[in-house]
Structure 1
């Protein structure tokens, strides 16, 4: 009698005994769809991470048949954002000090006009590092490594003869333009770099003062004016 009464009440309410409500079924279907989407996103992230680790490994590993065959593809992914420098236990000490400066201008019919004064970008990095307990890796290496890579690709010629050379030129140009834009008000659409290279004298044989008594040799290199997207400065 009790079961019959329950069935009668359920039937009067339009529900079938033992069946789930329609709202519950919709929520379950929605949750299943989200779980499927999250699962696929997780799989893609894991696959991308594994691919990244593999490419970086091939970049830093000794030359082998795979890295030789896919050198361009590996370098296109790793350089310049994920470049690795494995010189922790065999460092290559610097033999020169380089002062990298930049100035900006506006393009006119007669060439660059409204030329600014030189801004010492190297001094900005040195100021950010000096007396810092935890110096920024960016301040220590970004500008210096960008210039080193530029010289490796261009030598004494400022013409870019490869895709990597063009990439390193744009990389160096963008670093300088962003530094200047954050330092000054106004706008500019062209920029020039000046690099002063000073030789570091070798240590004295007797361990004394190694500073030279004569004039320190140095050379100054002016890069061409590079056009940039209009920056506020």
Structure 2
């Protein structure tokens, strides 16, 4: 009996692993008949957790620095609204990477990639026009909510993000030049308040 359970577990693990590899391959491979036919199934499996953004032969490095901050709101039992101060989530990620020989993928990419995907799907108006856009909005919200919950453990029902975008300074710029140019070149985007629900 134990042997049968073990064989079943191994077979299930192998099947899952092979299915995963196959679906990710179809996602990253050049468009073909099979990937087009099963696009919805492949996308359902890959997004957002297994998204591949390989640009091995045409790298597209970021030309801007983004500071993603969050704040939360909590309604107290007496009905008053408590809004937290802004927390720089990008700085938290940067501190987890700095001086770390083996930084985690989560610290390096999760917040940044979720924001990039959000912007690609929403543009500048924060309206979700597709199921994938709704999914990416929830994904970004959940990342921010998890980070804020880990930070101080205080309860909150709503979260808001603020993204400050600055162009990458030209090579050879001094710190003084960068500080002087920063306020002029900064672009700030304030997202709407999002409810942190049980589906978060």
> Normalising TM by the smaller chain, what interval?
0.7 to 0.9
Q: Unaligned regions of 5+ residues in structure 1, if any?
A: 1-32
Tell me which moved more, 69-78 or 211-220.
211-220
Report the CA distance shift for 1:100/1:212 in structure 2 as closer, same or farther (over 3 A): closer
CA RMSD between the two structures: 2.2
Distance (Å, rounded) in 1 between the aligned partners of 2:4 and 2:99 = 51
TM-score, length of structure 1 as denominator length:
0.76
Distance (Å, rounded) in 2 between the aligned partners of 1:178 and 1:209 = 36
Structure 2 SS opposite 1:52: helix
1:66 to 2:34 alignment: yes
Pairing of 1:1-233 with structure 2 (within 5 A): 33-107=1-75, 113-203=81-171, 208-209=172-173, 215-216=181-182, 217-229=185-197
Report the CA distance shift for 1:129/1:212 in structure 2 as closer, same or farther (over 3 A): closer
Report the CA distance shift for 1:121/1:213 in structure 2 as closer, same or farther (over 3 A): closer
Higher relative contact order structure (alpha carbons within 8 Å, sequence separation ≥ 6): 2
Q: Unaligned regions of 5+ residues in structure 2, if any?
A: none
Deviation of 1:112 after TM superposition, in Å, equals 8.6
Deviation of 1:66 after TM superposition, in Å, equals 0.9
Deviation of 1:170 after TM superposition, in Å, equals 0.7
Q: 1:51-88 CA distances to partner (integer Å, 9 max, x unpaired)?
A: 11110110000000111111111011011111122224
**Pairs aligned (count):** 192
Distance (Å, rounded) in 1 between the aligned partners of 2:192 and 2:173 = 39
Structure 2 SS opposite 1:55: helix
Structure 1 SS opposite 2:195: strand
Structure 2 SS opposite 1:114: strand
Distance (Å, rounded) in 1 between the aligned partners of 2:52 and 2:153 = 36
Deviation of 1:107 after TM superposition, in Å, equals 4.7
Deviation of 1:213 after TM superposition, in Å, equals 9.0
Greater Rg by CA: 1
TM-score, length of structure 2 as denominator length:
0.87
Report the CA distance shift for 1:133/1:173 in structure 2 as closer, same or farther (over 3 A): same
Cα pair 1:105 1:112 within 8 Å, conserved? no
Structure 2 SS opposite 1:159: coil
Shift >6 Å, 4+ stretches: none
Deviation of 1:161 after TM superposition, in Å, equals 1.2
Cα pair 1:58 1:74 within 8 Å, conserved? yes
Structure 2 SS opposite 1:102: strand
